[in-house]
Amino acid sequence: MQNLLDFDAQGLAAWFAEQGEKPFRARQVLRWMHRAGEADFETMTDLAKSLREKLRVSAEVCSPAIISDRLSEDGTRKFLFDVGAGNAIEAVFIPEDDRGTLCISTQAGCALECAFCSTGKQGFNRNLRVAEIIGQLWQANRVLGAGMRMGAESERIISNVVLMGMGEPLANFDNVLLALRLMLDDNAYGLSRRRVTVSTVGLVPAIDRLREECPVALAVSLHAPSDALRDQLLPINRKYPLAELMAACQRYLEKAPRDFITFEYIMIEGINDSDAHARELLDLTSNVPCKFNLIPFNPFPGSPFRRSQPERVRCFAEVLIRAGIVTTTRKTRGDDIDAACGQLAGQVSNRMRRLPSQSIQFQEVNA
């Protein structure tokens, strides 16, 4: 049984051709699945009855089932999805006055083991399939009532998608690429490249590949201004150090839909939050048009870190702003349901390919 959610438009057209069907049938089904959120072939009324019968016995529209749906006091909504074999992933919907953002996952767990992230502490099981990635958006649209009745589009409740949930998106490049193409396809979700953001810890070759194959908005999890500190917080930095990462960011801007890179920076008390760190960041990024998104650290069980104090975050931001860098501080959303940045953990079993644990000792820097 072929899950049609695993195909982008090109793949779906190829599959329909193998079934002896014309390409326009693939476009019809694509619209029914993604724009209308329909899984029942019998309701796809503009398809020939013979085709509906063929699809009923050979294909399915199957997304991850929702295990739980939790609502925060601030309106943030966290979905837990079953992806089989004891694994579960999380996605978060964040409503705001001018947008609705869905944060989705790309892996069951994560192998990169960043020191400040609860997902990394869970270990890694596997990459998500296309149907499991796009299925989070498909399910959220249905639950939030954001589908389209054929012929008349409803209000777009999910206006932005960020690949910032569990896992490193660029470590699951092929499946993420197909999911991105569906998000951008006018016959599917029709999002603009500016409204789809991929977040990465800095897999340099994959950043270059994304630039060539599907340049969307790029956010880089930076979190440290020097290789010495970043090696400890993000072990992947030992493979792709900051000089290589900054060069990749410069190359990406040649084709990016935005004229800047967003650098995400977790604010951890006494670790990376001094004014001296901020000045180092200015030196590091001097040749990369960018904006900074400062993220107060969100605690999770077993973490040795503490969140930077609000005044320390404000002073840090001031150093960047005075230098002319657009700097925002992310409002913590959904932390009462463990839906805030860095808190997504889901459920990961059969753990494998986890980086060896490092004994990390940090020297505090007084602000």
Which are the catalytic amino acids? 90, 341
Nearest to 341 by CA among 87, 94, 80: 94
Query: Beta 261-267 vs 160-163: how paired, if at all?
Result: unpaired
Q: Are 38 and 25 in contact (CB under 8 A)?
A: no
Query: Beta 124-127 vs 107-109: how paired, if at all?
Result: antiparallel
Largest CA distance in the chain: 72
b/e per residue 109-119 (b: at least 16 CB within 10 A): bbbbbbbbbbb
Q: Are 169 and 210 in contact (CB under 8 A)?
A: no
> Residue with structure tokens 């820097």?
365
Distance (Å, rounded) from C-alpha 25 to C-alpha 48? 9
The torsion angles phi and psi of 328, rounded to 5 degrees, stand at -120, 155
The torsion angles phi and psi of 343, rounded to 5 degrees, stand at -95, -15
Q: Where are the alpha helices (DSSP H) in 204-263?
A: 204-213, 227-233, 242-252
Distance (Å, rounded) from C-alpha 322 to C-alpha 243? 24
Got the DSSP string for 289-350?
-EEEEEEE----TT----BPPHHHHHHHHHHHHHTT-EEEEPPP-SGGGT-STT----B--S
Extract the tokens encoding 236: 């992947």
CA distances from 247 to 148, 168, 277 (A): 42, 20, 20
Extract the tokens encoding 290: 């960018």
